[in-house]
Amino acid sequence: MEHLSFLYDCLGYSCLTCSAVTGEGIATLKEMLQDKVTLFSGHSGVGKSTLLNRLVPEANVRTAEISAAHDTGQHTTTFSQLFDLPGGGSIIDTPGIKGFGTFDMEREEVGHYFREIFQIGRECRYSDCTHTHEPGCAVLQALEEHRIATSRYQSYLSMLEDKDEQKYRQGY
């Protein structure tokens, strides 16, 4: 976890390591959430509801044990619900995300959602650079020089290659 915090801290995102199990960082998180409306969002089974129960014990929302078969959390929340924080503020607990699609997003826009790719991409030779193969691509050079994390670049490529919006629209 420390490497993820370091990565995102370096990109300018505030990170807090906390644990609903051990209580590490919970007091700091409570202070950060005070008098704000906060939405808990993330993959299914990562512990959003467990964290909510730690912050708002009277919420008593349903959680499940880690799956022995898959060594992952299990999807339990089926609808979004707002809970008041003791002392002020609210948390919205949401069902887990199973996939992430780039709805109504142009291919050229994907890089705008990665701070480092957007910033470094302004130095590319071509203004419509996709940062995948073009000569004079500042992003590819930064990747080679380890100024962009490989994991972030792989996420960028994954989003670029994900063209099937219908798989995310099923059931609507």
Q: What is the pLDDT along the chain (172 residues), one digit of tens a residue?
A: 788 899 999 999 999 999 988 999 999 999 999 999 999 888 877 888 888 889 998 887 866 655 445 444 444 556 688 999 999 999 998 877 766 666 677 888 899 999 999 999 999 999 999 999 999 999 999 999 999 999 999 999 998 887 665 555 555 4
Residue 74: both structure tokens together: 């299990």
Identify the sign of the CA torsion 65, 93, 116, 140.
Answer: positive
Where do the domains of the chain lie? 2-93, 107-169
What is the SS3 assignment for 90?
strand
Listed in sequence order, the residues at least 6 apart from 127 whose beta carbon sits closer than 8 Å to its beta carbon are none
Backbone angles phi, psi at 83, to 5 degrees: -130, 135
Contact criterion met (CB below 8 Å) for 78 and 143 = no
β-pairing, 90-93 vs 81-84, is: antiparallel
Using CA atoms, how far apart are residues 60 and 9, in angstroms rounded to an integer?
Answer: 32
Select from 110, 102, 7, 162 the least CA-distant residue to 118: 110
Q: Which CATH architecture has domain 107-169?
A: Orthogonal Bundle (1.10)
Length of the chain: 172
